Chains A and B, each alone.
Chain A
Amino acid sequence: MMEDNSHKILSDKIPFYRDIRFLKVFFQILFVIGIILLTGFLYVNMLNGLSRQGIELGLNFLNSEAGFELSEGIDFEPSETYLKAFWVGIVNTIKISIIGIFCATVIGFFFGIARLSNNWLIRQIASVYVECFRNIPLLLQILFWYALTRVLPVVRESISFFNSIFINNRGVYFAFVERADGFNAWLWYLLSGSILAIFVVLGFAAFRYFFRFRELQQTARPSFISNITFGAKWAAAPIFLIVAIVGWFLTPEQPFAVTRPALQGFNFVGGMSFSPEFSALLIGLAVYTSAFIAEVVRSGIQAVVRGQREAARAVGLKESQVLRLVVIPQAIPIIVPPLTSQYLNLAKNSSLAIFIGFPDLFMVGETMINQTGQSIPVFAMIMVSYLIMSLTTSAFMNWYNRRITRVGK
């Protein structure tokens, strides 16, 4: 009897409403239908809402005249199109992001390492810096720096450093390297240098691959690609540098010249300049993000197991070698992923520019919405631009991370 019974239970078909395979598919279909219904509901609402407001969707407006001025960025006339204005905004966002990321990284690494100093005072200063700037909203910091630029002296009474940096209420002016007459001639030297380097590297790699290691077994033989990278490191870089330096001296005119800002009339001319808006945004972004980067760096270095450091010391490495050969190679793979998200945060936070009137991507987009009422397409453009920037940055950093991880392990 028992046997029969159990046999019966096993052979009984489970009703379909209790079959996990069926339920999985069923719930997914329900979920998808729910999402489709929701989207449809929103879409119908959108059509009604748009007809109520009398807006017709479309991208045609992008080719019409913008009619507003942009205070900063590549040259832009109000008579140019909306598309061009949007492009100016994108370039401004990229510019502030790249400069900001550079500054934040430098300051962040400095304070991160300072937090691990064996000097008590330096350690304390670094922690106070990190805690202060990390715990105050970025917007507040940017507004604060912007308020400070308003109380800077007028142009005639600029604060100057070494006669090459001038700070006044119209911005920061500093000496900068610019292309000079000899630049094109020098470019030819660079081009010939790179061609020469490529030939040398290929020849070198071919030599190593076909002659030098010919005796080795196929498996032990370094691949052609690894020979090229070896050659690029030891032959191409020196050749390129030598050609570049020799070319620098051979060109009749200097390829680059340092231009200093000089007071002409009511303003400074020459060199490079940052507007007050740009400077305030840059300081805010760089300082705020650097506090987070400092923490990332500190915890990354601390995450390298203590025993590693002690073992390195025990085998007699110098303190500098301990850092260079043992700690840093292991810390970098830990640091890179959170560093990437800080970089992405900085790029996204640059949208706070709208609060102080720096024409970045978001502010230009918002102006476009105000003028044309085309909120949905413009929002889509803004979001897609940010998404592309985020995805490219994280793709690049992931690639870099994979590369160094492979070296490290």
Chain B
Amino acid sequence: MENLAFTQEVKPPNTQKGPVKWLKDNLFSTWYNSILTCLGLVILFFVFKSVFTWVFTQANWKVIPANLQILSIGSYPLEQIWRVSSVIYGLAVLLGLSAGIWNGLTRQITVAIGCIGAIILLLPFHISVREHALIANVIIAVCFAIGRDRDNWKRWVVIGWVLSFPWTMIMLHGFGADTVTTTNWGGLLLTLILAAIGILACFPLGVLLALGRRSQLPAIRWVSTIYIETVRGVPLITLLFMGSLLLPIFMPGDFQLDKVIRAMVVLTLFSAAYMAENVRGGLQAIPPGQVEAAQAVGLTYPKTMLFIDLPQALRSVIPAIVGQFIALFKDTSLVSVVGLLDLLGIGRSILGNPDWQGLQPEVYLFIAVIYFIFCYAMSFVSQKVEADLGIGKH
């Protein structure tokens, strides 16, 4: 009998698993959580119901396939379209090779881009668009297979990426009799070019401004500070307007600057001020001992900055910098105020066409999805980079 007391069963700790347990933990843990869950479900139901009925029964989606060409390349002449496709295929080659050579993030980005291509392939777009998507995806796959584990190609692929930018601009612009002037650039093409140039140019400029603002030389510090604060204090749209209205006044008489280039310059100068503040935030977080140590071993100022200060500072502000890139990408939508037809500008001009009047929700929703895909992809990549570098874990 005494033994029984010892053998009395003690219930094991609750290690129950499975959907019921999950539901209980995550949705119905307390009475108010249950209420919140039910409320959330009801709201979701109504939102989904109205959105789905609108998307599948009421919306007139014909407007998208009919205008897909000008939405993607604006009024780029059709006989010159091989330029655009050659650029796309060139980038596809580089992308596939990089995905093969480098592991990890590059591969994920490539897969994401391949997925976008596959989605385009499946949607009921015009057959030529789907052909392009198919060919690009095939090129990526083939180059991926070729490039696998070819470490000695690394240098050439990097050089390829560096050269891809001037190559793209030259290809798109053309030369001689076949020149495609920037007035014909439009749609998604223009948006991507503006964003790419803005991102590439604002970064070094922003770093310089940040260093200038922290400089020990008062003249440089003051000029940088005034520039940064002025640009950050006014809306981008005023600067774009200034670029189009005031620049001609301030330039020598016969000097004419292309509209697209003007917008590029303004976007770059605008983002550089914000970039400078992000970089400065990173620089301020570096312990002064780092710079002092660098000076103690006799590094000059440029070397201290390039090899000690900036690498650490930039690494810690990657999220903010990518956030700035995303903001710049979204800000390109404002260039329609100075008469450029970027993605959104083209969308608005389509809606001005009597054939497509009253289809604002359809067109805007489509454009919104495109912007969303690009911005979300950028922020996703930034999160991955952050995780890979272990930022915020120390």
Does B219 contact A121, Cβ atoms closer than 8 Å?
A: no
Does B235 contact A135, Cβ atoms closer than 8 Å?
A: no
Does A46 contact B250, Cβ atoms closer than 8 Å?
A: yes
Does A131 contact B36, Cβ atoms closer than 8 Å?
A: no
How long is the Cα–Cα vector from A387 to B333 in the complex, in angstroms? 23
CB of A122 closer than 8 Å to a CB of B: yes
CB of B77 closer than 8 Å to a CB of A: no
**Residues of chain A lying within 8 A (CB to CB) of residue B41:** 121
Interface secondary structure of B, over-half rule: helix
A256 to chain B, nearest CB (A): 34
CB of A6 closer than 8 Å to a CB of B: no
Does B334 contact A139, Cβ atoms closer than 8 Å?
A: yes
Stretch of B156-164, B200-208, B366-374 on the interface side: B366-374
Q: Which residues of A (136-183) have their CB < 8 Å from a CB of B?
A: 136-141, 143-144, 147-148, 150-151
Q: Could you give, for residues 216-250 of chain B, a 1 whenever the CB lies within 8 Å of some chain A CB and a 0 otherwise?
A: 11111001000000101111111001100110111
**Residues of chain B lying within 8 A (CB to CB) of residue A366:** 241
Does A140 contact B250, Cβ atoms closer than 8 Å?
A: no
**Residues of chain B lying within 8 A (CB to CB) of residue A46:** 249-250
Does B371 contact A137, Cβ atoms closer than 8 Å?
A: yes
How long is the Cα–Cα vector from A136 to B379 in the complex, in angstroms? 13
Nearest chain A residue, comparing its CB with the CB of B348: A143
B310 to chain A, nearest CB (A): 21
Does B234 contact A387, Cβ atoms closer than 8 Å?
A: yes
How long is the Cα–Cα vector from A28 to B358 in the complex, in angstroms? 59
B216 to chain A, nearest CB (A): 8
Nearest chain B residue, comparing its CB with the CB of A351: B235
With contact pairs A135-B379, A148-B361 given, residues A49 and B250 touching in the complex (Cβ less than 8 Å): yes
Q: Which residues of A (198-214) have their CB < 8 Å from a CB of B?
A: none
A375's contact among B245, B252, B358, by CB below 8 Å, is which? B245
B-side interface residues, number (CB < 8 Å): 54
CB of B344 closer than 8 Å to a CB of A: yes
B234's contact among A28, A140, A150, A383, by CB below 8 Å, is which? A383
CB of B27 closer than 8 Å to a CB of A: yes
Nearest chain B residue, comparing its CB with the CB of A139: B333
How long is the Cα–Cα vector from A49 to B245 in the complex, in angstroms? 12
CB of A348 closer than 8 Å to a CB of B: yes
Q: Which residues of A (345-361) have their CB < 8 Å from a CB of B?
A: 348-349, 351-352, 354-355
**Residues of chain B lying within 8 A (CB to CB) of residue A147:** 360-361, 364
Does A120 contact B26, Cβ atoms closer than 8 Å?
A: yes
Additional A-B contact list (10), CB under 8 Å, known A134-B375, A137-B333: A49-B248, A119-B26, A122-B37, A137-B330, A139-B333, A348-B235, A379-B245, A382-B238, A390-B232, A390-B234
Interchain residue pairs with CB less than 8 A apart (8) = A28-B217, A45-B250, A135-B330, A137-B371, A148-B361, A348-B236, A354-B337, A375-B249
A-side residues, CB < 8 A to B, are 24, 27-29, 31-32, 35, 42, 45-46, 48-50, 52-53, 117-122, 125, 131-132, 134-141, 143-144, 147-148, 150-151, 348-349, 351-352, 354-355, 362, 366, 369, 375-376, 379, 382-383, 386-387, 390-391
B-side residues, CB < 8 A to A, are 26-27, 29, 33, 36-37, 40-41, 43-44, 216-220, 223, 230, 232-238, 241-242, 245-246, 248-253, 326, 330-331, 333-334, 337, 344, 348, 358, 360-361, 364-365, 367-368, 371-372, 375-376, 379
